Structure 1
Amino acid sequence: MNLRALTRGDAAVAGAAVLLFIASFLPYWTVDCSGRYCGDTSQNAWDSVLFPVLPSVFLLGILAAVLILVQRFQGAAAATRQVLGLRLDQWGIAFAVTALWTSIWSLGGGPKGLDHGFGAWLAVISLLVLAGAAAAGPLVPALKAPLVTDKPAVPQGYPGGYPAPQAGQPGQYGYPAPGQDPQQAQSPAFGGQPGGYGYPAPQAGQPQDAAQQAAQHAAAQQAAHQAPAPAQAAPAPDFAPFWFAVPAPRQLAPKDNPAGAPVGDLVPGTWYLAVEQRGAALVAQLQDGTQGLLADTTGIQRG
């Protein structure tokens, strides 16, 4: 079950279905009667005398919500899957509108001395929400927003057994200590690497402006793509592991075959560990321990 596939509209559909189920047990009819011989003065939708209110209003509305949510949980694989020419969510919208229409008509008329109870009114309100959220969910941006979003979080420890920095101490492996400014962590006075992002620092007496650095970086990337695999396999001798995040989705190539099929993907909002530097490229480690070569390191954010 992939909760990240659900939207706010789906959550409204599910909540309305729960209210509809609760309403089925509440009084649907109340009898205006007083005295010792009146007997039971209320009936809910499960009483047989109210048939077919239960299947045509309550069960049909709950079935509509189930079809819509099943379609969402199946994700992109069910985008073209149809039953009698309609997708499951389209059947769900049709059932929801039908149940709403039936519930509204059931509020009219009735035998003398009978009044609609709270269950009948709650059913209409629930079906209004259910049908509205089902029909407007794919159209209204507020309802199309995902229910669960991934937020970038600062890792509490280092995978692979690397120790986490302690409070009041300089960060290790290129990661800033708690409360320490990231720029300060890269200062040589705090044990950081002045080159930044795992790249070697410029030699003393060789100042580089932004244009020169960009040109050298582009040339290094082009050389990395054109160089044979054995040349790229040589790691930088003075490299220290550090955490980083990417500004856009990027793929990892095999460590020993940059031209091979991707072995993983890097996504924004997640921290990854750079364990090795090969020219302008980095060897990154995923959460499951998979390692691959990241050739495009432009714009990465160092932790």
Structure 2
Amino acid sequence: MNLRALTKGDAAVAGAAVLLFIASFLPYWTVDCKGKYCGDTSTNAWDSVLFPVLPSVFLLGILAAALILVQRFQGQAAANRQILGLRLDQWGIAFSVAALWAALWSLGGGLEGIDHGIGAWLAVIALIVLAGAAAGGQLIPVLKTPLVTDRPAAPAAFQPGGYPAPGQPGQPGPQGHYGYPAPGQSGGYGYPVAGQPGQPGAQAPGQPQDVAAQQAAAAQAAEAEAARQAAAQQSAQPQPAPAADFAPFWFAVPAPRQLAPKDGPAGAPVGELVPGTWYLAVEQRGTALVAQLQDGTQGVLADTSGIQRG
């Protein structure tokens, strides 16, 4: 069940169904009768004397809303699931129009001294909203917008190297970055300052270095050289140049779309973008965008048609 897949049109369908259910308990007919021999002067749709108003107007309308919402909750899993050639939401649209047609016909006729009560008029209003939201839910842009959005806070600006820019949350104090010495100091976090003997981690002048430390330094140098060569090979491959005037922005997709790898668009997808969630576009490559997921994964979105900017 994906609550983020619900739209404002689905909310209108649910609200109309609740209003229709309430209207079924309100007076549907009122009798103009005065005197001590007059009994109950009103009756609602649940009274058997009004059959078949209850199943053809009220229950059919509520069933239509239930079918539409069930289809939305199932999402893409029920996109191709059909009953007698129609999806559940298509059956719901047909039932809502049929219920509205029956409600309009029930307002006609009548006898002298018998008038339609608030329940009848409220049912017609609820069915107009229900049929309109059901039929126009995928056509009117306002009704297609997500009901619940998940827009994260704007990311903090970062300097090259991954450290927060001045004035941003998480910036270290004036004595330097966390874990690194301040200007003019040779020691870092957990290491002594140069010239202070006897500190933990200090090495006396002339003491031979540990063999394990030499091996670790050699391994780090080999990894750095391999990373440099890989970066050189990657830079040699032709890639679309990012837009010069591009600025990161939030966006949402109208339908689920796959996210291709940044370095190899032909590779396996690295993630999926779903409606109702905001994603950050960090780069533009021609008509494609480089999007970032909530876990920090970045990939190329080739199909940018119909996206909604935040």
- Give the TM-score band, short-chain normalised: 0.5 to 0.7
Q: Does 1:35 align with 2:35?
A: yes
Query: 1:24: which partner in 2?
Result: 24
Query: 1:76: which partner in 2?
Result: 76
Q: Using the alignment, how far apart are the partners of 1:24 and 1:81 within structure 2?
A: 32
Query: 1:126: which partner in 2?
Result: 126
> Quick one: which of 205, 208, 223 aligns to 2:233?
223
Query: 2:167: which partner in 1?
Result: 181
Letter in 2 for 1:77: A
Gaps of 5+ in 2: 156-160, 180-228, 237-247, 252-257, 281-291, 301-310
Letter in 2 for 1:89: D
1:29–1:116 contact (8 Å) kept in structure 2: yes
Letter in 1 for 2:140: V
> Quick one: which of 173, 177, 181 aligns to 1:191?
177
Q: Using the alignment, how far apart are the partners of 1:269 and 1:221 within structure 2?
A: 31
1:27 counterpart SS class: coil
Deviation at 1:293, TM superposition (A): 8.1
Deviation at 1:265, TM superposition (A): 6.2
Query: 1:111: which partner in 2?
Result: 111
TM-score, normalised by the number of residues in structure 1: 0.59
Letter in 2 for 1:91: W
Query: 2:52: which partner in 1?
Result: 52
Summarize the Cα distance change of 1:286–1:33 in structure 2 as closer, same or farther, 3 Å threshold: closer
1:250–1:266 contact (8 Å) kept in structure 2: yes
TM-score, normalised by the number of residues in structure 2: 0.58
CA RMSD of aligned residues (A): 4.4
2:108 counterpart SS class: coil
Deviation at 1:262, TM superposition (A): 6.2
2:8–2:146 contact (8 Å) kept in structure 1: yes
2:279–2:293 contact (8 Å) kept in structure 1: no
Q: After superposition, give the CA deviation of every residue in 1:262-298 in whole Å (9 maximum; x if it has no partner).
A: 6756998579xxxxxxxxxxxx9976xxxx98699xx
- Misfit runs of 4+, over 2 Å: 173-177, 180-193, 219-226, 245-253, 259-271, 284-287, 292-296
Summarize the Cα distance change of 1:126–1:246 in structure 2 as closer, same or farther, 3 Å threshold: closer
* Range that drifts further, 77-86 or 9-18: 77-86
Q: Does 1:63 align with 2:73?
A: no
Deviation at 1:174, TM superposition (A): 4.9
Q: Using the alignment, how far apart are the partners of 1:79 and 1:148 within structure 2?
A: 21
Summarize the Cα distance change of 1:130–1:286 in structure 2 as closer, same or farther, 3 Å threshold: closer
Q: Does 1:100 align with 2:109?
A: no
Deviation at 1:247, TM superposition (A): 7.4
* Range that drifts further, 18-27 or 79-88: 79-88
Deviation at 1:80, TM superposition (A): 1.5
2:24–2:45 contact (8 Å) kept in structure 1: yes
2:28 counterpart SS class: strand
2:260–2:267 contact (8 Å) kept in structure 1: no
1:13–1:65 contact (8 Å) kept in structure 2: yes
1:174–1:192 contact (8 Å) kept in structure 2: no
Letter in 2 for 1:125: I
Query: 2:211: which partner in 1?
Result: none
1:32–1:114 contact (8 Å) kept in structure 2: yes
Letter in 1 for 2:139: L
Deviation at 1:73, TM superposition (A): 1.0
Q: After superposition, give the CA deviation of every residue in 1:217-236 in whole Å (9 maximum; x if it has no partner).
A: xx96563599xxxxxxxxxx
Please tell me whether Structure 1 or Structure 2 has the larger radius of gyration of its CA atoms: 2
Q: Using the alignment, how far apart are the partners of 1:191 and 1:24 within structure 2?
A: 68
Q: After superposition, give the CA deviation of every residue in 1:22-50 in whole Å (9 maximum; x if it has no partner).
A: 00000000110111110101100000000
Letter in 2 for 1:100: L
1:137–1:143 contact (8 Å) kept in structure 2: yes
Gaps of 5+ in 1: 156-172, 194-218, 227-244, 254-258, 272-283, 297-303
Summarize the Cα distance change of 1:175–1:148 in structure 2 as closer, same or farther, 3 Å threshold: farther
Deviation at 1:114, TM superposition (A): 0.8
Query: 1:141: which partner in 2?
Result: 141
Tell me the percent identity.
68
Q: Using the alignment, how far apart are the partners of 1:138 and 1:295 within structure 2?
A: 29
Q: After superposition, give the CA deviation of every residue in 1:122-145 in whole Å (9 maximum; x if it has no partner).
A: 000000000001011110111111
Deviation at 1:181, TM superposition (A): 2.9
